[in-house]
Amino acid sequence: MSNPNEEIMKAIAAHSNLGSYDAARENFSWQEIERQFTWSDTGRINMAFEAIDRHADSGLKDKVALYYSDDNRDESYTFGEMKRNSNRFGNVLRKAGIAKGDRIFIFMPRTPELYFALLGSLKIGAIVGPLFEAFMETAVRDRLEDSSAVAIITTPALLSRVPVGELPSLKHVILVGHDIEPAEGRYDFYKEMEEASEELQIEWMDREDGMLLHYTSGSTGKPKGVYHVHNAMIHHYYTGKIVLDLNENDVYWCTADPGWVTGTSYGIFAPWLNGATNVVRGGRFSPQSWYKTIERYRITVWYSAPTAFRMLMGAGDEAVKEIDLSSLRHVLSVGEPLNPEVVRWGMKVYGQRIHDTWWMTETGGQLICNYPSMDIKPGSMGKPIPGVDAAIVDDNGKVLPPFRMGNLAIRTPWPAMMRKVWNNPAKYEEYFRLTGWYVSGDSAYMDDEGYFWFQGRVDDVINTAGERVGPFEVESKLVEHPAVAEAGVIGKPDPVRGEVIKAFISLREGYAPSEELKADISKFVKEGLSAHAAPREIEFKDKLPKTRSGKIMRRVLKAWELNLPSGDMSTIED
Ligand code: WT7
């Protein structure tokens, strides 16, 4: 069978010692990957050292590690400068008494300071919780409270969303801004950085020591703190090579914010572990500014999400014609189903196949992918990467044959796998309830050539514009609104965002349905929780369908929405 990507495949084989898919699978060993790190002898490691200092101490010292631009700033930093800035920040934290194992949150827009702070925190062994800047007070409080965070790095503009007085563990607030009034436990980032030394004694970690807490939503309960360890670097380094196809000559752009796992695993670690130049574009999305970013930096590898590609598609082919995108050689997608139509459009206007990749916050790294040496089937997430075993299993863990739909499951373990759910061992165990498997919560089938096809979630988790939203969190916020008696939240299919959030609401006595009230309720969630979690659509109902035990049946709401039969109603209240 001819492989249209022969050239790229050869290139990969040359720098990663992997040949064809089958050969690579057969010859694969994680130990082989591990041996490429110097720490494989000592067992003591630090992600920030491997990603930055290793290059800063070698031939890549003066190579640009980070290009940053937004509407007001335009900067670049070499690996040497990244090392010095993250060292300084590590010293700032040490001086404040923050130490290995402490949880510290970074809640600020994507700017170079965020990257110095994150790397500096890892260098002293702290466990970092990156928070998306759109989070509002409830979302921030839930996360800091759950993890007993001792410090937060934020900006003066975002500080009002951090309920400092209600968080007894939170001792230090580091403010990235100007004219900061120093006070007890309050620090001026720029002043502290200036005073700190550029030399830092790195905290050497064990492979299984904590590195990151990424909070994510399930269908029930508050967001869970998914805990990742330094060992994940093996996975990030390897997938950076074979899936992103990165090498030291690449200029790479991952469009995700570090508040989401894509923005750390593949926006920080994978590119820098592989010595690539990383581009970060601050500010809001617009087709023009995105295309200009690719043109200006001559980006070679680009990792984004279906919603973004659909928006770019919506902006029209004309927008592309005025721009030179000839530097692009590899384009990838993650986060939600990538429509075959988008893949075909990408081939037409970018001359590039958009490579879908599948993974989750919990998996820490890519697992099922279309990588350059494979033939793409538009609409499929690809195949398990060498070193990973995936299968479709039934609810008892029995492996199903091709074309049968079931639970998408991964054989445990793999290097970037989460190691716990913070404070919640029971939740963690749920993922591993079928012996030997990690159960993803996605349903899918595998075809007779081993390609996996996404079908949906088996739970009520909503995926809007690639961002994961737990209906429970939104419902909890909704019922805090004075007019809302009960609320049930579902994902409603949407051509651009995949799904949008729709809330069914019954009102309290004395409130009448109106468009103003809908707008007010939506604003309430937007300002209390976060913009991406706010319902775009609200429907008032006299009563919501509930089980006899009082749980709102989202399944029935969904059936109403889609005009489907409501299924088994035997547990409904009346
Ligand atoms: C959920 C995980 C880590 C990537 C960012 C999202 C959905 C992810 C795909 C894909 C269809 C996908 C799944 C998964 N998802 N990638 N290629 N095709 N669906 O991470 O927020 O943890 O969400 O996103 O439903 O379970 P996340």
pLDDT tens digit sequence for 380-430? 999 999 999 999 999 999 999 999 999 999 999 999 999 999 999 999 999
The domain 19-45+232-386: what is its CATH number?
A: 3.40.50.12780
Instruction: Establish whether residue 217 lines the binding site of ligand 1, counting it when its CB lies within 6 angstroms of any ligand atom.
Output: no
Instruction: Establish whether residue 441 lines the binding site of ligand 1, counting it when its CB lies within 6 angstroms of any ligand atom.
Output: yes
Gap from CA of 130 to ligand 1 centroid (Å):
18
Does the domain at residues 461-562 carry the CATH identifier 3.40.50.300? no
Instruction: Establish whether residue 266 lines the binding site of ligand 1, counting it when its CB lies within 6 angstroms of any ligand atom.
Output: no
What angle (nearest 5°) sits at the alpha carbon of residue 258, between those of residues 440 and 408?
A: 10
* Closest atom of ligand 1 relative to the 256 alpha carbon: 5
Nearest-angstrom CA–CA distance, 258 and 226: 14
Instruction: Establish whether residue 355 lines the binding site of ligand 1, counting it when its CB lies within 6 angstroms of any ligand atom.
Output: no
Other beta carbons within 10 angstroms of residue 571's beta carbon come to 11
Question: What residues pair up with 242 in beta bridges, in sequence order?
Answer: none
Residue whose CB lies within 8 A of the most ligand 1 atoms, among 264, 463, 499, for a mutation test: 463
Residue whose CB lies within 8 A of the most ligand 1 atoms, among 332, 360, 376, 457, for a mutation test: 360
Q: What is the pLDDT of residue 531?
A: 94
Nearest-angstrom CA–CA distance, 353 and 60: 31
Instruction: Establish whether residue 379 lines the binding site of ligand 1, counting it when its CB lies within 6 angstroms of any ligand atom.
Output: no
Gap from CA of 334 to ligand 1 centroid (Å):
7
The yes-or-no answer to whether 19-45+232-386 and 47-229 have a common fold is yes
Residue whose CA lies nearest to ligand 1 atom number 5: 335
Gap from CA of 335 to ligand 1 centroid (Å):
4
* DSSP secondary structure letters along 56-89: HTTTTTTSEEEEEE-SS-EEEEEHHHHHHHHHHH
The domain 47-229: what is its CATH number?
A: 3.40.50.12780
Gap from CA of 221 to ligand 1 centroid (Å):
20
Q: What is the pLDDT of residue 394?
A: 97
Instruction: Establish whether residue 359 lines the binding site of ligand 1, counting it when its CB lies within 6 angstroms of any ligand atom.
Output: yes
Nearest-angstrom CA–CA distance, 373 and 565: 44
For the segment 170-194, what is each residue's pLDDT rounded down to a tens digit? 999 999 999 898 889 999 999 999 9
Q: What is the pLDDT of residue 534?
A: 96
* Closest atom of ligand 1 relative to the 359 alpha carbon: 3
* Closest atom of ligand 1 relative to the 261 alpha carbon: 3
Q: Which helix or strand (DSSP H or E) is residue 523 part of?
A: helix 515-528
Burial 490-500 (b: 16+ CB within 10 A, else e): bbbebeebbbb
Gap from CA of 58 to ligand 1 centroid (Å):
36
Nearest-angstrom CA–CA distance, 503 and 535: 6
Residue whose CB lies within 8 A of the most ligand 1 atoms, among 359, 440, 452, for a mutation test: 359
**Residue extents of the structural domains in the chain:** 19-45+232-386, 47-229, 461-562
Provide the 3-class DSSP secondary structure of residue 318. Answer: helix
Gap from CA of 179 to ligand 1 centroid (Å):
41
Q: What is the pLDDT of residue 27?
A: 82
Gap from CA of 172 to ligand 1 centroid (Å):
34
Gap from CA of 432 to ligand 1 centroid (Å):
18
Q: What is the pLDDT of residue 4?
A: 32
ipTM: 0.99
Other beta carbons within 10 angstroms of residue 297's beta carbon come to 19
Instruction: Establish whether residue 454 lines the binding site of ligand 1, counting it when its CB lies within 6 angstroms of any ligand atom.
Output: yes
Q: What is the pLDDT of residue 41?
A: 80
Q: Which residues of the chain fall below pLDDT 70?
A: 1-19, 567-574
* DSSP secondary structure letters along 219-288: SSSSPEEEEEEGGGHHHHHHHHHHTS---TT-EEEE---TTSHHHHIIIIIHHHHTT-EEEEE-S---HH
Q: Comparing C-alpha atoms, which of 132, 96, 123 is closest to residue 361?
A: 132
Instruction: Establish whether residue 216 lines the binding site of ligand 1, counting it when its CB lies within 6 angstroms of any ligand atom.
Output: yes
